Chains A and B, each alone.
Chain A
Amino acid sequence: MRLDAILRVVVKLMLPFMLLFALYVQFHGELGPGGGFQAGVIAAGMVILYALIFGVREAKRLVPQKLVERLVPLGVLIYLGTGLVAMLLGGNYLDYSTLAHDSRHGQEYGIMAVELGVLITVSSSMLAIFYAFVERGR
Protein backbone atom coordinates (compact mmCIF):
# COMPACT_ATOMS: atom_id res chain seq x y z
CA MET A 1 0.00 0.00 0.00
CA ARG A 2 1.91 3.02 -1.27
CA LEU A 3 0.24 6.34 -0.66
CA ASP A 4 1.65 9.80 -0.99
CA ALA A 5 4.39 10.90 1.34
CA ILE A 6 2.51 13.71 3.08
CA LEU A 7 -0.18 11.35 4.36
CA ARG A 8 2.38 8.85 5.63
CA VAL A 9 4.55 11.44 7.37
CA VAL A 10 1.62 13.29 8.96
CA VAL A 11 0.04 10.06 10.21
CA LYS A 12 3.37 8.91 11.61
CA LEU A 13 3.60 12.20 13.51
CA MET A 14 0.02 11.89 14.78
CA LEU A 15 0.19 8.30 16.06
CA PRO A 16 2.20 8.88 19.28
CA PHE A 17 -0.07 11.76 20.23
CA MET A 18 -3.15 9.62 19.66
CA LEU A 19 -1.73 6.93 21.94
CA LEU A 20 -0.77 9.53 24.53
CA PHE A 21 -4.28 11.00 24.37
CA ALA A 22 -5.78 7.54 24.86
CA LEU A 23 -3.62 7.02 27.95
CA TYR A 24 -4.50 10.51 29.19
CA VAL A 25 -8.22 9.79 28.79
CA GLN A 26 -7.75 6.46 30.61
CA PHE A 27 -5.74 7.68 33.59
CA HIS A 28 -7.32 11.12 33.82
CA GLY A 29 -10.83 9.63 33.86
CA GLU A 30 -10.91 10.27 37.62
CA LEU A 31 -10.77 14.00 37.05
CA GLY A 32 -11.78 14.80 33.50
CA PRO A 33 -14.23 13.42 30.97
CA GLY A 34 -13.67 9.96 29.56
CA GLY A 35 -12.68 6.59 30.89
CA GLY A 36 -11.96 3.08 29.76
CA PHE A 37 -14.46 3.02 26.91
CA GLN A 38 -13.36 6.24 25.23
CA ALA A 39 -9.66 5.48 25.79
CA GLY A 40 -10.13 2.02 24.32
CA VAL A 41 -11.76 3.35 21.17
CA ILE A 42 -9.07 6.00 20.71
CA ALA A 43 -6.28 3.43 21.16
CA ALA A 44 -7.96 1.08 18.68
CA GLY A 45 -8.48 4.03 16.34
CA MET A 46 -4.75 4.65 16.41
CA VAL A 47 -3.96 1.12 15.23
CA ILE A 48 -6.76 1.25 12.62
CA LEU A 49 -5.35 4.53 11.24
CA TYR A 50 -1.92 2.91 11.09
CA ALA A 51 -3.44 -0.04 9.21
CA LEU A 52 -5.28 2.25 6.77
CA ILE A 53 -2.10 4.12 5.82
CA PHE A 54 0.66 1.52 6.14
CA GLY A 55 -1.29 -1.64 5.36
CA VAL A 56 -2.91 -4.31 7.50
CA ARG A 57 0.16 -6.55 7.42
CA GLU A 58 2.24 -3.85 9.11
CA ALA A 59 -0.51 -3.30 11.69
CA LYS A 60 -0.68 -7.03 12.42
CA ARG A 61 3.09 -7.03 12.93
CA LEU A 62 2.60 -4.24 15.49
CA VAL A 63 -0.49 -5.74 17.17
CA PRO A 64 -0.87 -9.43 16.25
CA GLN A 65 -4.40 -10.67 15.55
CA LYS A 66 -3.98 -13.65 17.90
CA LEU A 67 -3.08 -11.33 20.78
CA VAL A 68 -6.05 -9.07 20.04
CA GLU A 69 -8.49 -11.96 20.00
CA ARG A 70 -7.19 -13.25 23.32
CA LEU A 71 -7.45 -9.82 24.91
CA VAL A 72 -11.20 -9.53 24.12
CA PRO A 73 -12.28 -11.92 26.91
CA LEU A 74 -9.40 -10.87 29.21
CA GLY A 75 -10.93 -7.44 29.88
CA VAL A 76 -14.30 -8.94 30.85
CA LEU A 77 -12.48 -11.44 33.07
CA ILE A 78 -10.59 -8.62 34.83
CA TYR A 79 -13.92 -6.88 35.47
CA LEU A 80 -15.59 -10.07 36.74
CA GLY A 81 -12.47 -10.95 38.74
CA THR A 82 -12.43 -7.59 40.51
CA GLY A 83 -16.01 -8.24 41.60
CA LEU A 84 -15.15 -11.76 42.74
CA VAL A 85 -12.07 -10.63 44.71
CA ALA A 86 -14.21 -8.02 46.45
CA MET A 87 -16.68 -10.78 47.33
CA LEU A 88 -13.96 -13.19 48.55
CA LEU A 89 -12.60 -10.44 50.82
CA GLY A 90 -15.98 -10.33 52.54
CA GLY A 91 -17.90 -7.65 50.71
CA ASN A 92 -20.66 -7.65 48.15
CA TYR A 93 -20.03 -8.49 44.49
CA LEU A 94 -18.53 -5.40 42.74
CA ASP A 95 -18.45 -3.48 46.04
CA TYR A 96 -14.78 -2.45 46.04
CA SER A 97 -14.70 -1.20 49.65
CA THR A 98 -13.01 -4.40 50.84
CA LEU A 99 -10.12 -4.21 48.33
CA ALA A 100 -7.96 -2.07 50.66
CA HIS A 101 -7.76 -1.37 54.39
CA ASP A 102 -9.54 1.92 53.85
CA SER A 103 -12.86 1.65 52.03
CA ARG A 104 -12.19 4.84 50.06
CA HIS A 105 -8.88 3.52 48.76
CA GLY A 106 -10.60 0.23 48.00
CA GLN A 107 -13.15 2.05 45.88
CA GLU A 108 -10.36 3.89 44.06
CA TYR A 109 -8.42 0.69 43.30
CA GLY A 110 -11.61 -1.09 42.26
CA ILE A 111 -12.58 1.67 39.85
CA MET A 112 -9.07 1.63 38.33
CA ALA A 113 -9.14 -2.16 37.88
CA VAL A 114 -12.58 -2.10 36.34
CA GLU A 115 -11.65 0.73 33.95
CA LEU A 116 -8.58 -1.26 32.90
CA GLY A 117 -10.83 -4.20 32.08
CA VAL A 118 -13.13 -1.96 30.03
CA LEU A 119 -10.12 -0.48 28.18
CA ILE A 120 -8.75 -3.91 27.26
CA THR A 121 -12.06 -5.35 26.08
CA VAL A 122 -13.18 -2.27 24.13
CA SER A 123 -9.88 -1.62 22.33
CA SER A 124 -9.31 -5.27 21.45
CA SER A 125 -12.95 -5.75 20.37
CA MET A 126 -12.73 -2.80 17.96
CA LEU A 127 -9.48 -4.14 16.54
CA ALA A 128 -10.80 -7.70 16.31
CA ILE A 129 -13.87 -6.49 14.38
CA PHE A 130 -11.64 -4.43 12.07
CA TYR A 131 -9.29 -7.36 11.42
CA ALA A 132 -12.27 -9.67 10.78
CA PHE A 133 -13.72 -7.29 8.14
CA VAL A 134 -10.36 -6.77 6.44
CA GLU A 135 -9.60 -10.49 6.39
CA ARG A 136 -12.96 -11.29 4.81
CA GLY A 137 -12.47 -8.66 2.12
CA ARG A 138 -9.36 -10.32 0.74
Chain B
Amino acid sequence: MAGIEGRIVETFINAVLLTLLAVVTIAIARQRNLFGVVILAGIYSFLMASVLIVLDAVDVAMTEASVGAGVSTVFMLGALHLTRTLEQRPHYSALVPLLVSAGVAAALIWGTIGLPPFGTPDAVIHKHVAPVYLADSLKDTMVPNVVTSTLASYRGYDTLGETTVVFTAAMGVMLLLRGRRKTGKGAGAQEGKGEQL
Protein backbone atom coordinates (compact mmCIF):
# COMPACT_ATOMS: atom_id res chain seq x y z
CA MET B 1 0.00 0.00 0.00
CA ALA B 2 1.38 3.36 -0.97
CA GLY B 3 0.55 6.91 -0.08
CA ILE B 4 -1.31 8.49 2.77
CA GLU B 5 -4.57 6.62 2.04
CA GLY B 6 -2.86 3.28 2.39
CA ARG B 7 -1.40 4.33 5.70
CA ILE B 8 -4.83 5.42 6.97
CA VAL B 9 -6.37 2.06 5.94
CA GLU B 10 -3.51 0.17 7.61
CA THR B 11 -3.88 2.16 10.82
CA PHE B 12 -7.63 1.52 10.79
CA ILE B 13 -7.16 -2.24 10.26
CA ASN B 14 -4.56 -2.35 13.04
CA ALA B 15 -6.85 -0.45 15.42
CA VAL B 16 -9.78 -2.80 14.73
CA LEU B 17 -7.67 -5.95 15.11
CA LEU B 18 -5.95 -4.79 18.30
CA THR B 19 -9.29 -3.70 19.85
CA LEU B 20 -10.77 -7.12 19.04
CA LEU B 21 -7.68 -8.78 20.56
CA ALA B 22 -8.14 -6.80 23.77
CA VAL B 23 -11.86 -7.67 23.89
CA VAL B 24 -11.14 -11.38 23.37
CA THR B 25 -8.39 -11.31 26.05
CA ILE B 26 -10.75 -9.78 28.62
CA ALA B 27 -13.45 -12.28 27.64
CA ILE B 28 -10.96 -15.17 28.17
CA ALA B 29 -10.01 -13.81 31.60
CA ARG B 30 -13.65 -13.47 32.68
CA GLN B 31 -14.92 -16.74 31.19
CA ARG B 32 -15.35 -19.64 33.66
CA ASN B 33 -16.55 -22.19 31.12
CA LEU B 34 -13.36 -23.75 29.76
CA PHE B 35 -15.06 -24.80 26.52
CA GLY B 36 -15.71 -21.10 25.89
CA VAL B 37 -12.11 -20.30 26.80
CA VAL B 38 -10.79 -22.78 24.21
CA ILE B 39 -12.97 -21.35 21.44
CA LEU B 40 -12.04 -17.78 22.42
CA ALA B 41 -8.36 -18.77 22.39
CA GLY B 42 -8.86 -20.04 18.83
CA ILE B 43 -10.43 -16.69 17.89
CA TYR B 44 -7.49 -14.92 19.57
CA SER B 45 -5.02 -16.93 17.45
CA PHE B 46 -6.93 -16.15 14.28
CA LEU B 47 -6.92 -12.41 15.08
CA MET B 48 -3.21 -12.67 15.87
CA ALA B 49 -2.63 -14.31 12.48
CA SER B 50 -4.42 -11.37 10.84
CA VAL B 51 -2.22 -8.91 12.75
CA LEU B 52 0.87 -10.80 11.56
CA ILE B 53 -0.34 -10.60 7.94
CA VAL B 54 -0.71 -6.82 8.33
CA LEU B 55 2.89 -6.82 9.65
CA ASP B 56 3.95 -8.69 6.44
CA ALA B 57 5.09 -11.75 8.43
CA VAL B 58 3.19 -14.27 6.30
CA ASP B 59 5.19 -17.32 7.43
CA VAL B 60 4.47 -16.61 11.10
CA ALA B 61 0.82 -15.82 10.29
CA MET B 62 0.48 -19.19 8.55
CA THR B 63 1.96 -20.97 11.57
CA GLU B 64 -0.25 -19.05 13.99
CA ALA B 65 -3.40 -19.82 11.98
CA SER B 66 -2.66 -23.53 11.52
CA VAL B 67 -1.16 -24.29 14.95
CA GLY B 68 -2.82 -21.71 17.18
CA ALA B 69 -6.30 -21.57 15.70
CA GLY B 70 -6.40 -25.05 14.20
CA VAL B 71 -4.52 -27.95 15.73
CA SER B 72 -4.05 -26.62 19.28
CA THR B 73 -7.78 -25.84 19.58
CA VAL B 74 -8.45 -29.52 18.85
CA PHE B 75 -5.78 -30.54 21.41
CA MET B 76 -7.35 -28.29 24.05
CA LEU B 77 -10.79 -29.77 23.34
CA GLY B 78 -9.22 -33.22 23.65
CA ALA B 79 -7.73 -32.19 27.00
CA LEU B 80 -11.13 -30.81 28.12
CA HIS B 81 -12.62 -34.18 27.33
CA LEU B 82 -10.33 -35.61 30.04
CA THR B 83 -11.15 -33.04 32.72
CA ARG B 84 -13.94 -30.79 34.00
CA THR B 85 -15.19 -28.02 31.77
CA LEU B 86 -15.90 -25.49 34.53
CA GLU B 87 -13.07 -23.52 36.11
CA GLN B 88 -13.24 -23.38 39.92
CA ARG B 89 -13.31 -20.03 41.66
CA PRO B 90 -9.85 -19.22 43.09
CA HIS B 91 -9.42 -19.27 46.87
CA TYR B 92 -7.08 -16.28 46.97
CA SER B 93 -7.89 -12.65 46.26
CA ALA B 94 -7.12 -11.25 42.81
CA LEU B 95 -5.24 -8.25 44.22
CA VAL B 96 -1.66 -9.66 44.21
CA PRO B 97 -1.88 -11.17 40.67
CA LEU B 98 -3.40 -7.89 39.45
CA LEU B 99 -0.51 -5.89 40.92
CA VAL B 100 2.07 -8.31 39.45
CA SER B 101 0.54 -8.12 35.95
CA ALA B 102 0.21 -4.34 36.15
CA GLY B 103 3.89 -4.14 37.18
CA VAL B 104 5.03 -6.44 34.35
CA ALA B 105 2.90 -4.52 31.82
CA ALA B 106 4.35 -1.20 33.00
CA ALA B 107 7.91 -2.59 32.71
CA LEU B 108 7.20 -3.89 29.17
CA ILE B 109 5.68 -0.58 28.03
CA TRP B 110 8.63 1.27 29.59
CA GLY B 111 10.93 -1.09 27.66
CA THR B 112 9.28 -0.29 24.30
CA ILE B 113 10.27 3.38 24.75
CA GLY B 114 13.90 2.33 24.24
CA LEU B 115 13.15 0.41 21.03
CA PRO B 116 13.86 1.97 17.61
CA PRO B 117 10.69 3.04 15.72
CA PHE B 118 8.84 0.21 13.95
CA GLY B 119 10.25 -0.61 10.52
CA THR B 120 13.36 1.62 10.67
CA PRO B 121 15.99 0.21 8.31
CA ASP B 122 18.90 1.44 10.46
CA ALA B 123 17.84 -0.45 13.61
CA VAL B 124 20.60 -2.59 15.15
CA ILE B 125 18.91 -5.87 14.21
CA HIS B 126 18.96 -4.95 10.49
CA LYS B 127 22.68 -4.17 10.48
CA HIS B 128 24.19 -7.41 11.79
CA VAL B 129 23.89 -10.50 9.53
CA ALA B 130 20.57 -9.69 7.82
CA PRO B 131 22.10 -7.65 4.93
CA VAL B 132 24.53 -10.51 4.17
CA TYR B 133 21.70 -13.07 4.06
CA LEU B 134 19.57 -10.80 1.86
CA ALA B 135 22.41 -10.14 -0.57
CA ASP B 136 23.92 -13.63 -0.75
CA SER B 137 20.91 -15.97 -0.39
CA LEU B 138 20.26 -16.46 -4.12
CA LYS B 139 23.99 -16.62 -4.92
CA ASP B 140 24.76 -19.16 -2.16
CA THR B 141 21.71 -21.40 -2.15
CA MET B 142 19.66 -20.82 -5.35
CA VAL B 143 16.63 -20.36 -3.06
CA PRO B 144 14.87 -17.05 -3.76
CA ASN B 145 12.87 -17.08 -0.50
CA VAL B 146 15.30 -15.68 2.07
CA VAL B 147 13.14 -16.92 4.96
CA THR B 148 13.58 -20.53 3.79
CA SER B 149 17.32 -20.24 3.13
CA THR B 150 17.88 -18.51 6.48
CA LEU B 151 15.88 -21.06 8.47
CA ALA B 152 17.15 -24.18 6.75
CA SER B 153 20.73 -23.27 5.82
CA TYR B 154 22.22 -20.19 7.48
CA ARG B 155 20.43 -20.97 10.73
CA GLY B 156 20.28 -24.75 10.29
CA TYR B 157 21.26 -25.40 13.90
CA ASP B 158 18.34 -23.35 15.23
CA THR B 159 15.85 -25.21 13.04
CA LEU B 160 17.37 -28.53 14.11
CA GLY B 161 16.77 -27.43 17.69
CA GLU B 162 13.17 -26.48 16.90
CA THR B 163 12.51 -29.82 15.23
CA THR B 164 13.94 -31.55 18.30
CA VAL B 165 11.59 -29.48 20.49
CA VAL B 166 8.57 -30.71 18.50
CA PHE B 167 9.91 -34.27 18.73
CA THR B 168 10.38 -33.90 22.50
CA ALA B 169 6.86 -32.49 22.93
CA ALA B 170 5.35 -35.46 21.09
CA MET B 171 7.45 -37.89 23.16
CA GLY B 172 6.41 -36.14 26.39
CA VAL B 173 2.69 -36.29 25.59
CA MET B 174 2.98 -39.91 24.49
CA LEU B 175 4.82 -40.86 27.69
CA LEU B 176 2.25 -39.10 29.87
CA LEU B 177 -0.94 -40.19 28.10
CA ARG B 178 0.04 -43.51 26.55
CA GLY B 179 1.77 -44.81 29.67
CA ARG B 180 -0.84 -47.39 30.62
CA ARG B 181 -0.46 -50.47 28.49
CA LYS B 182 -2.65 -53.49 29.06
CA THR B 183 0.38 -55.78 28.82
CA GLY B 184 2.17 -54.19 31.82
CA LYS B 185 2.08 -55.47 35.40
CA GLY B 186 -1.01 -54.35 37.29
CA ALA B 187 -2.14 -52.36 34.28
CA GLY B 188 -5.52 -54.07 34.30
CA ALA B 189 -6.35 -52.87 37.81
CA GLN B 190 -5.34 -49.30 37.02
CA GLU B 191 -7.30 -49.44 33.82
CA GLY B 192 -10.40 -50.35 35.82
CA LYS B 193 -9.87 -47.40 38.17
CA GLY B 194 -9.56 -45.07 35.21
CA GLU B 195 -12.86 -46.29 33.80
CA GLN B 196 -14.68 -45.49 37.04
CA LEU B 197 -13.45 -41.90 37.04
Q: Contact residues of A with B, CB < 8 Å?
A: 25, 29-35, 37-38, 41-42, 44-45, 48, 52, 69, 72-73, 75-76, 79-80, 83, 94, 96, 103-105, 107-108, 110-111, 114-115, 117-118, 121-122, 124-126, 128-130, 132-137
Contact = CB atoms under 8 A, between A and B. Distances in A.
B78 A76 contact: no
B33 interface: no
B71 A30 contact: no
A34 B59 contact: yes
A99 B33 CA distance: 55
Contacts of A114: 152, 156, 159
B107 interface: no
B141 A133 contact: no
A41 B173 CA distance: 17
Interface in B144-171: 144-145, 147-149, 151-153, 156-157, 159-160, 162-164, 166-167, 169-171
A45 B82 CA distance: 21
B170 A129 contact: yes
A92 to B, nearest CB: 10
B177 A136 contact: yes
A72 B78 CA distance: 20
A88 to B, nearest CB: 16
A41 B71 contact: yes
Interface string B38-80: 0000000000000000000011001100110011001100110
B174 interface: yes
Contact of A79 (B67, B151, B163): B163
B141 A34 contact: no
A30 B149 CA distance: 8
Contacts of A72: 167, 170-171
A137 B78 contact: yes
Contacts of A38: 59, 62-63, 66
